[in-house]
Amino acid sequence: MNDVFQFSAGISVLEITYIVASVFFILGLKMLSHPLTARRGNIIAAIGMILAIAATILFHQKDGAPIGNIGWIIGAMIIGTAIGWIIAVKVKMTAMPQLVSFFNGMGGAAAALISMMEFPHISSELIARTGMANGHVLAILLGLVIGSVSWAGSMIAFGKLDGWIGDLRVKAMKYVNVTILVVIIAFIVYIMTRDVQASSELTPLILILFAVAVAYGVLFVMPIGGADMPVVISLLNSFTGVAAAMGGFLYNNQAMLTGGILVGSAGTILTILMCRAMNRSLLNVIVGVFGGGGAAAATEGGTVKEITVSDAAVLLSYSKKVVIVPGYGLAVAQAQHICHELDNLLDEKGVEVRYAIHPVAGRMPGHMNVLMAEADVPYEQLLESDEVNPDLPNTDVIVVIGANDVVNPAAEDDPSSPIYGMPIVRARDAKNIIVMKRGMGKGYAAIENMLFYNDKTRMLFGDAKSTLQALVTEVKAL
């Protein structure tokens, strides 16, 4: 009786801890909605995860026996924590999108491995009672497929963001992907309708299903490029959350289930919001080819006018309102701190400086927000593009630093352009436009930008960091 009481008490403590951990997850996610509370939200969610892990190790029991291999578990946790800590400390802000893809892929891989390990151990009693067609088997198969797709797709996204994997833009690819998806569904149905005595008899089919799902993850992401990459990262993140939730179903683990649902739903909502920000459907993102084309590609751009650093410094210093549009080029140059130094100097001269943040600027969701926050730019200066646009006609100078597609007028003027209909920062409405670029190369979406040829536009060529440093020097001298 005493043993039973201890077992029941242990389960109660475990369940209560899972509930507390789930509350911490929800609070942490809520705090992530605002930059001022995001750091605290991360810490609270991390505490929730520590509680869930500790409670599982201490109180979880199966068939009356505690968890085994504690030494291996703790050792793996120490090694993983050390590796993750070192990577997070050393990673450059320009590589943050790659890091997000890599970490997300690891989550998908973990979910897939759980499913592969659990499938051969499906209860023979359950199979005898219901066959393979039951919720437990379905959770395993969905966790395997979704986790594998998330892992493989995230690794391809990592390579594409890092520049060593290119786009595979073949029109027939979408038909290939649909075919593979049908094969995956057919595999799941076939496995769940088999009449077997033990699930281990179907292990070879599970390995084949894993391989097909990995192939789908690779081919699903390969054609996607350009400004669609932030959407893909968000979508893959939601996949990982759903795969983790399947693990929660398998182990009846409320914390794992809640965490997976939160990640999956948050990633899905973010994906939908980003698609709306680009005025595109998710299906169009997945099967469409975003890059190149449009009427601008077939016409000569016009005349480009340049501006010197000295003239740019004078123009900025004697303005009343200045808007800065940061882009990936600013991140690559690691020039966010110097950019903030410039806006501080202009502020001292009585110039109102704000930043226009486009939802899909950069290579991951919120990339520019994170970049400018790292430079300690006040959050009130960071405004969404739709907040800035109405006041741009009253803005003396808009400075576009390393951004391209998010200020491209083709989104409003060229129905044949792949980005037509995408809301943009309407830079051309400002009284003066300064575009800082290394050269006249096209943006990540490979689309010609007619803003560069606008009569109000002046090009300031050079590396963003060195150019901004020169601007700071000139402004100080005025």
Along the 478 residues of the chain, how does pLDDT read in single tens digits? 344 334 444 457 888 899 999 999 999 999 987 777 888 999 999 999 999 999 888 887 776 677 878 889 999 999 999 999 999 888 876 777 888 899 999 999 999 999 999 999 888 888 888 888 888 999 999 999 999 999 999 999 898 887 788 767 677 777 888 899 999 999 999 999 988 888 888 999 999 999 999 999 998 888 876 557 778 888 999 999 999 999 998 888 888 899 999 999 988 888 888 777 766 677 766 665 444 445 554 455 568 899 999 999 999 999 999 999 998 888 888 889 999 999 999 999 999 999 999 887 877 777 888 888 888 898 889 998 889 999 999 999 999 998 888 898 988 888 877 777 788 899 999 999 999 988 766 655 567 788 998 999 999 998 889 999 999 999 998 8
Q: Looking at residue 443, what is its pLDDT?
A: 57
SS3 content of the chain, % helix, strand, coil (to 5): 65, 10, 25
User: Comparing C-alpha atoms, which of 292, 290, 268 is closest to residue 279?
Assistant: 290
Q: Concatenated DSSP letters for 95-148? A: GHHHHHHHHHHHHHHHHHHHHHHHGGG--HHHHHHHTT-SHHHHHHHHHHHHHH
Closest Cα partner for 403 from 317, 464, 346, 315? 464
User: Could you give the CA distance from residue 35 to residue 254 in angstroms, rounded to a whole number?
Assistant: 29
Domain boundaries, the chain: 1-90, 96-290, 295-477
Give SS3 for 272.
helix
Pick the CATH number of 295-477 from 2.30.30.140, 2.60.40.1180, 3.40.50.10860, 3.40.50.1220: 3.40.50.1220
Alpha helices in 278-408 (DSSP H): 282-287, 309-317, 328-333, 336-348, 367-374, 385-388
The pLDDT value given to residue 415: 82
State the pLDDT at residue 446.
Answer: 61
Residue where the block lists tokens 């389960």: 11
Q: What is the pLDDT of residue 321?
A: 95
The reported pLDDT for the residue numbered 2 is 40
Given this model, what pLDDT does residue 227 score? Answer: 59
Report pLDDT for 347: 94
- CB 393 within 8 Å of CB 429: yes
Three-class DSSP category at 355: strand
| Neighbouring residues of 224: CB distance < 8 A, sequence distance ≥ 6 | 167, 232, 285, 286, 290
Q: What are phi and psi of 323, to 5 degrees?
A: -120, 130
Instruction: Work out the number of other CB atoms within 10 angstroms of the CB of residue 283.
Output: 10
DSSP 358: -
Known catalytic residues are 405
- Residues with Cβ within 8 Å of 43's Cβ and at least 6 positions away in sequence, in order, are 28
The residue behind tokens 């009569």 is 455
Of the candidates 117, 45, 53, the residue with the CA atom closest to the CA atom of residue 80 = 53
